[in-house]
Structure 1
Amino acid sequence: MAGSWRQLREKVSNLNFYFHDTVSGQNVTAVQVASAPSTNASSTFFGTVMVIDDLLTEGPDLTSKLLGRAQGLYAMTSQEDIQLLMAVTYVFQSGEFNGSTLAVVGHNAVFNKVREMPIVGGSGKFRLARGYALAHTYSFDLTTGNAIVHYNATVLHY
């Protein structure tokens, strides 16, 4: 049986979903857990660390089909611009990939039109996954800080 994994055929999956980052209002899904003494004086919120349990949905509306959750953290890592380091696991809870996960760790320059982040692993149907996720802000409320981000992920897996 040794080496039998090599006989598996690699697949490519393309996933589209919406990530709902709710930092204020009802049903908050992102909470600040740390900051630096200088964070409040920073125009980029440098030093802020947020822990998330955001909804992943099929469409941009919260009432659209729930696909899973984005669980992990992001930190504000730039003193010059609003940029994040994201360490997030997409936990799929329905459909073809129910019970599977994808791990994303990388840089997110949130005000760029499109951001590319690496997929560095996964579990379940995404075991040995690698690939990339393209993020595009669907909506961002400057008053509340709440955002909806469209993700298009290309995943290579067995």
Structure 2
Amino acid sequence: MASRLLLSFLLFLLLSLTAAHKHNLKQKYSHLHFYFHDSITGRNATAVPVTKLAAGAHPQSYFGIIAIMDDPLTEGPELNSTLLGRAQGLYAATGQEEVSLLMTMNLAFTAGKYNGSVLSVLGRNQPLHPVREMPIVGGTGLFRFARGYVLARTHCLDLDTLDATVEYDVHVIHYGKILDV
């Protein structure tokens, strides 16, 4: 089983490199900086829990809760600053002892240079830690063949509602859009 997985991964890597070479693409590095606004309360909630706390779970870990999100990404920390896109996906509380989230989301850009492009993030987020690192596992549009990482820092967190604004520093290597597809 492990050898099949390794073989599949190596084949995927070879095909990716061949496609980039075939289209004579140059590798690019981009640094993006924006704010992620997650609101699970109120009339304009952007994240909706779809499960409840697991039976017997430590209440401060939120273990078992899954939320679907469509959170705005803005240029500044204020919700009314320039909208750059949306973080769409889900997060699941996977830690039994501490708050630890599995994040699976698309950062879909709707403005500026990256309008129409998407970065896909899949990784662990421990929101009570000062800095969290999550991997970028792919992308579309200008972010084709993307890989990199996101550094997340909580800008503000309301402990009563759990609504949060999170600063995102994104470092990504990509090839850009292939025009002849």
More helix by share: 2
Structure with larger Rg: 2
Residue 37 of structure 1 and its aligned partner are, at CA, apart by 4.3
Q: Residue 146 of structure 1 corresponds to which residue in structure 2?
A: 163
CA-based RMSD of the aligned residues comes to: 1.4
Q: Residue 133 of structure 1 corresponds to which residue in structure 2?
A: 150
Does the 8 A contact of 1:133 with 1:152 survive in 2?
Answer: yes
Residue 143 of structure 1 and its aligned partner are, at CA, apart by 1.2
Does the 8 A contact of 1:42 with 1:79 survive in 2?
Answer: no
Q: Distance in 1 between matches of 2:128 and 2:135?
A: 18
Q: Counterpart of 1:70 in structure 2: which amino acid?
A: A
Structure 2: gaps (5+ residues):
1-17, 176-181
Q: Distance in 2 between matches of 1:18 and 1:118?
A: 17
Q: Which consecutive aligned stretches of 4+ in structure 1 deviate over 4 angstroms post-superposition?
A: none
Residue 35 of structure 1 and its aligned partner are, at CA, apart by 2.9
Query: Tell me, what secondary structure is at the counterpart of 1:34?
Result: coil
Q: Cα deviation per residue 1:50-87 (whole Å; 9 max; x = unaligned)?
A: 00000000000011000000000000001110110000
Aligned counterpart for 2:106 among listed residues 62, 68, 89:
89
Q: How many residues align?
A: 156
| TM-score normalised by the chain length of structure 2 | 0.83
Residue 144 of structure 1 and its aligned partner are, at CA, apart by 1.3
Query: Tell me, what secondary structure is at the counterpart of 1:122?
Result: strand
Q: Distance in 2 between matches of 1:118 and 1:30?
A: 21
Q: Which has the higher contact order (CA 8 A, sep 6+)?
A: 1
More strand by share: 1
| TM-score normalised by the chain length of structure 1 | 0.94
